[in-house]
Amino acid sequence: MPSLKTLRNRINSVKSTQKITSAMKMVAAAKLRRAQAQAESSRPYARRMGEMMAALAAGAAENPNAPALLVGNGKAQTHLLLAITADRGLAGAFSANIGKHVRTQTLALEAQGKTVKIFALGRKGNDYFKRELMDRIAGHKNFVGKKTVEFADAEAIAAQIIAMFRDGGFDVCTLVFNRFHSVMLQKVTETPLIPAATPVANDNPPTETYEIEPDDGTLLDRLLPRNLAVQIYAALLENAAGFYASQMTAMDSATRNAGEMIKKLSLNYNRARQANITKELIEIISGAEAV
């Protein structure tokens, strides 16, 4: 059995850890409220922008002069997976879920004879893909040191993705991220970026009509890159909210586990202390009887 000093040191160490996890839980909870509000406020705009792009893509499917960013380049051989993860850890399986999903999708596409490239947004995802899918990484970016992600960051990423597409780096681009649903639930979600998603058969057909000025080409040249930036920015906000929710849950579990460990160590400490006292009493009594 460990000595009393060893047990005391372990109890103090676990108490210190419990204080840290409890503080991190409160910090994550405070940041979650703001991140959740930002994610929820971005959804209507991003959803409506996506619906408009889907309507335009459905109407331009047969147009040979339609922009490639809208309808694709006619090929689907090379796939780019834009995977968004966290820059920091201590959030359970939040980033690992994205990594595993992307790995599964990569192997499935390669089994079909496709070429897969990965663009990692977030330090944790980049570290995972370096271990598991090193030769598929086409680029990476993280936001270490930034308090919040801004729309300008999403615009820069969108510009890089568009440049890769125009240089023939890929044919299809899919955004993979954790969508925030609740504190306990973040779902891995895929969103087509290039080409734009078209309505499926059971969707209501688009009924909107658009009057475009000065002309559709000029408008789409500005609208399509902005749509990419909007979808990426909305996903980054969802990712931030999901990260803080996952971290808060993980730190709450760690705090409770530390409390249970303290109880067990305290029980062992009291038993060892009582055993030492009993041993000393027996030695004193035995010595007195011997005299």
Domains present along the chain, CATH in parentheses: 42-250 (3.40.1380.10)
Residue by residue, DSSP assigns 41-67 as HHHHHHHHHHHHHHHHHHHTTT-TTS-
Q: What is the mean pLDDT of the chain?
A: 87
Question: Residues 32-48: pLDDT tens digits?
Answer: 999 999 999 999 999 88
Look at residue 201 in the predicted model and tell me its pLDDT: 42
Q: How confident is the model at residue 202 (pLDDT cuts 50, 70, 90)?
A: very low
C-alpha span between 72 and 195 (Å, rounded): 5
Q: Which of 17-21, 51-55, 204-208 has the lowest mean pLDDT?
A: 204-208
Question: Residues 135-178: pLDDT tens digits?
Answer: 899 999 988 878 788 899 999 999 999 999 999 999 999 999 99
List 79's β-bridge partners, or say none. 116, 172
CA 53 to chain centroid, in Å, comes to 25
pLDDT beyond 80 at 89: yes
Kindly list the distances between the CA atom of residue 67 and the CA atoms of 74, 95, 98, 155, 263, in Å, as whole numbers in the listed order: 11, 34, 31, 19, 65
pTM of the model: 0.84
Top pLDDT among 208 and 236 is at 236
> In degrees rounded to 5, what are phi and psi of residue 141?
-155, 140
Q: Please report, rounded to a whole number, the percentage of residues in the chain having pLDDT higher than 90.
A: 54
> Residue 32 in contact with residue 238, Cβ under 8 Å?
no
C-alpha span between 232 and 238 (Å, rounded): 10
pLDDT beyond 80 at 21: yes
Closest to 42 in 3D by CA, of 176, 245, 238, 186: 238
Q: Which of 3-17, 56-70, 113-127, 218-232 has the lowest mean pLDDT?
A: 56-70
Q: How confident is the model at residue 277 (pLDDT cuts 50, 70, 90)?
A: confident
